[in-house]
Amino acid sequence: MVALLEDVLPWLIAFFILDAVVQLRRGQVVFARTGLEQYKLLSSGLHLAGALPFGAALIAYELPFLPTREGVWVFDPDARHAPPVILADAVSFIPWASLGTVQAEAMAVKGGSRVLFRARSPRAARALAAELAVLQGVAEGSREAEIKRWLEARCDVEAARARWKRVRLPAFFAATFGTVEALVLFGAVPALAFLPGADVLGWERVFSLLALSHLYAITGAAWALARSGASAGDMTSALGTLLIFPPYAARAGIHALRDVLASFEPLAVAAVVLPRADFLRYARRELVRTDESREATRHLGLAPFWDARRNALKRLLVAAGTSEREVLAPPHSQEVAAWCPLCVTEYRAGFAKCSDCGVELVLHRPV
């Protein structure tokens, strides 16, 4: 048994750690929590999300594609970073008639043979493909109204809150027993094998506790997935993986929560899980980004999309208990010469544009 553990345990630890590594592309964001701390927003790049007990990671998608009445504007699906402001050369146009059959293939959303967007999971890719297919299938005269409806559904804070409320208890249940499984798998079992005197615990008791925690962790994940509205196929796929690999089941709470709010705009998810100050800062970014992107892509015919998105965001702010005026309030500092309206970085005299965002600075005007 000891020799077997020496061979297998390093692999189990590696699987557990690798399962927590997230490489985010453009359009992918994660709201992550370490332990029982507050959620933080993670954008493009390499991250370790949800590796500690009771951690969590919620995936959302910002601007996966930009639909208009005539067609859809898409980004480079392999882009690693999201520009603060969407410029004309960052998107390419595909007429609806030339898009082909929209479908999900693994984690990619495809139009015909072309990859349009890469999601973090097959479940999310299928949902995004289904949404795009609906927009494609609408008559041209009704498409702008359908785009507005789609944006409003993605920005529906009340719906996001309701779903979050439904899954929190079962996800906590899954996380609790997943934590017990992790402690047994990476604590009790090695101690029993390698520490002198630890064998008094008995292999039977340890493996019984491991089996029970494994069963209850998977049960909690199934409960959470069912309450999130996951299909039978999605549940079978997710639970099958947890059933076979105990290191994955040790993070059952993470897997149960990963896609539950993926159908909502990241700002709607932020309204539900982020501290208020972080939400307001993120809301400012999205409002200013929308306005700046509208101006930068006006000649492409994208103004109606950005206008519809901004109206949806304004309704989102009201539902979140704030307003555009509060979100866009200037910094309190009275000593700066100018500041970036997007990231709120403060500048001394002599600067005209934000070095990070490329946005024109706002001059400070003393009251």
Q: What is the mean pLDDT of each run of 10 residues along the chain (367 residues)?
A: 65 78 88 86 81 83 96 93 88 95 95 94 94 95 96 97 95 92 84 66 79 94 94 90 87 90 96 95 94 93 96 96 91 75 83 84 69
Contact between residue 128 and residue 109 where contact means Cβ atoms under 8 Å apart: yes
Helices (H) and strands (E) in the chain, counts: 13, 14
The whole-number pLDDT of residue 367 equals 46
- Residue labelled with tokens 């639909």: 67
Q: pLDDT value at position 161? A: 97
Q: Indicate the pTM of the whole model.
A: 0.89
Residue 57 tokens read as 């990671």
Which helix (H) or strand (E) is 109 found in, with range? strand 108-111
Domain parsing of the chain, residue ranges: 2-61+158-257, 66-142, 330-367
C-alpha Rg value of the chain to the nearest Å: 23
Q: How many CA atoms lie within 13 A of 18 on its CB side?
A: 7
**Angstrom distance (rounded) from CA 176 to CA 23:** 26
Query: What is the predicted pLDDT for the residue at 5?
Result: 63
- pLDDT value at residue 91: 95
